[in-house]
């Protein structure tokens, strides 16, 4: 299973999602590889913090940019149960190669910075990739949502906006990833939220999204 996290919107939580998704997959027993396909190399920074803190890795992590990413995905997917690819916040050769080689693309949407034009262009890119990679599926997830109940309306509006665009191959996750300090704290310590002693609330939100990814992944495997 190859899963790419992508959207043109910078700072929407792609790297945070890639690392925590990879960690949950690894903790559930999968042999996982994270490919850092962002020239900014945020996942690699996470790996280095973890290594310097003397914490054992739970997934493999490599950095790969440039057009050969496509060939690397084809070769590496035979060696791992799951590959999670983190991309940069823009249209790039890496994002296009990653979409062509993936089973699932995760598209984070931040309610407070909901940018309809950006979201629609990401959906167009997904559909273009689907012309060459028919089985590609997209999961949209609401990311960095304000946990403040007064801002609940913003989350509701974002969900309604995505639901209206749901069509063949595009699903909105039932899970909403709320803005919680623990995500930042964990990354600074080289940890995933699942490994943090005070990560229960975030892990519970993330767990619902994780289940949706697993369910979709299993349906794709059955359909082969």
Residues at the site binding ligand ATP, with contacts judged by CB under 6 A? 10-16, 38, 40, 42, 88-89, 143-144, 177, 179-180, 183-184, 187
Shortest reach from residue 206's CB to ligand ATP, in Å: 8
Per CB under 5 A, 42 contacts Mg ion: yes
Determine what percent of the chain falls in helix, strand and coil, rounding each to the nearest 5.
Answer: 50, 20, 30
Subset of residues 108 to 147 that bind Mg ion, contact rule: CB under 5 A:
none
How big is the chain, counted in residues?
224
90 or 174, CB closer to Mg ion? Answer: 90
Crossing angle of the two packed helices 181-188 and 200-222, in degrees rounded to 10: 80
**To the nearest whole angstrom, how small is the minimum distance from the Cβ of residue 54 to ligand ATP?**
22
Q: Which residue has the tokens 């950095």?
A: 63
With CB under 5 A as the contact rule, which of the stretches 35-43, 146-154, 155-163, 168-176 interacts with Mg ion?
A: 35-43
Decide: 141 and 173 in contact? Cβ < 8 Å. Answer: yes
Element (H, E) at 70: helix 69-76
* Closer CB to Mg ion, 108 or 217, in the complex: 108
DSSP 8-state class, residue 183: H
Which of 4, 7, 12, 15 touches Mg ion by CB under 5 A? Answer: 15
Dmax over CA atoms of the chain, in Å, equals: 48
CB of 1 to Mg ion, least distance (A): 21
Chosen from Mg ion, ligand ATP, none, partner binding at 13 (C-beta under 5 to 8 Å by type): ligand ATP
Strand ranges for the chain from DSSP E? 2-5, 32-36, 60-63, 82-86, 104-109, 137-145, 170-178
CB closer to ligand ATP out of 38 and 212 = 38
Nearer to Mg ion, 144 or 159 (CB): 144
Number of H helices, E strands in the chain: 8, 7
Distance in Å, CB of 113 to ligand ATP, minimum = 11
Asked if 194 is part of the footprint of Mg ion (rule: CB under 5 A), the reply reads no
């Amino acid at each position: 299973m190859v899963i790419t996290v992508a959207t043109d919107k910078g700072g929407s939580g792609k790297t945070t999602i890639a690392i925590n998704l990879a960690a949950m997959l690894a903790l559930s027993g999968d042999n996982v590889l994270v490919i850092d396909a962002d020239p900014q190399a945020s996942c690699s920074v996470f790996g280095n913090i973890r290594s310097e803190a003397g914490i054992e890795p739970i997934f493999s992590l490599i950095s790969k940019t440039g057009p050969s990413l496509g060939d690397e995905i084809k070769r590496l997917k035979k060696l791992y149960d799951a590959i999670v690819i983190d991309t940069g916040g823009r249209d790039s050769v890496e994002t296009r190669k990653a979409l062509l080689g993936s089973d699932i693309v995760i598209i984070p949407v931040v309610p407070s910075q909901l940018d309809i034009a950006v979201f629609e262009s990401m959906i167009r890119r997904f559909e273009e990739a689907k012309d060459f990679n028919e089985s590609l599926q997209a999961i949209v997830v609401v990311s960095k949502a304000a946990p403040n109940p007064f801002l609940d309306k913003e989350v509701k509006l974002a969900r309604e906006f995505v639901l209206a665009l749901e069509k063949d191959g595009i699903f909105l996750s039932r899970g909403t990833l709320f803005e919680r300090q623990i995500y930042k704290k964990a990354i600074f310590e080289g940890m995933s939220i699942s490994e943090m002693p005070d990560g229960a609330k975030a892990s519970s939100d993330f767990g619902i999204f994780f289940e949706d990814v697993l369910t979709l992944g299993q349906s794709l495997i059955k359909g082969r």
